[in-house]
A and B are shown apart, each in its own frame.
Chain A
């Protein structure tokens, strides 16, 4: 079974802090994704990566950056957290154009 793990289930940060969200997958998938999920808006793609050190912007990359130094690990960075970044963050991985396997999510609250 594919396993995607995320570093925290719940996180509370203050406005202006730098926030790191980590995602690790154990199935050697080349593609990894970061989404945020908000009520009524579904899942929106922030960034994705199709290979180590490769990344592409999704639909809402502003205020975020990513890092993929190793194939199994994809990090999402909030450079300076703001209250409008309070959300559920979901990481996913996939093999080729196959189905995406999601982690359990990190519920981030920025106060």
Chain B
């Protein structure tokens, strides 16, 4: 069945450093979504990517969807303590509303 792997599992960075998390699917995706979950909170939808090679930006966050639509990345420039949390990708195959979530990358930012 479809699998979505996410690396790294954990990342500790100094405040101001950059951070990247990668998401890889075993099958071609129709679209991919990214979520952030703060400690003790619930996942919050950040963005959706649909097109091959698509790049979207939200302030210091840059999201990319691979050309083959099997991988994606989230890059945060100059991390802040407010970026702390777990970042999940979720991919969907064509013709289904079912999303497979990656295992998440837990980000800690040291002030």
Residues of A whose CB lies within 8 Å of any CB of B are: 31, 33, 35, 40-45, 48, 50, 56, 58-59, 90, 92, 94, 97-105
Given the known inter-chain contacts A90-B42, A97-B31, A99-B45, please indicate yes or no for A48 contacting B102, CB distance below 8 A: no
Contacts of A31 in B (CB 8 A): 97
Which residue of chain A has the shortest Cβ distance to B41 in the bound complex? A104
Residues of B whose CB lies within 8 Å of any CB of A are: 1, 6, 30-31, 33, 35, 41-48, 88, 90, 92, 97-104
Majority secondary structure, A binding face:
strand
Query: Closest CB of chain B to A2's CB: distance in Å?
Result: 9
Q: How far is the CA of A48 from the CA of B100 in the complex (A)?
A: 12
Give the most central of B33, B35, B43, B44: most A CB within 10 Å: B43
Contacts of A103 in B (CB 8 A): 42
What are 25 pairs between A and B in contact, CB < 8 Å?
A31-B97, A40-B103, A42-B102, A42-B103, A42-B104, A43-B43, A43-B90, A44-B101, A45-B98, A45-B101, A48-B98, A56-B98, A58-B98, A59-B1, A90-B43, A97-B31, A99-B33, A99-B46, A99-B47, A99-B48, A100-B33, A100-B45, A101-B45, A102-B42, A102-B43
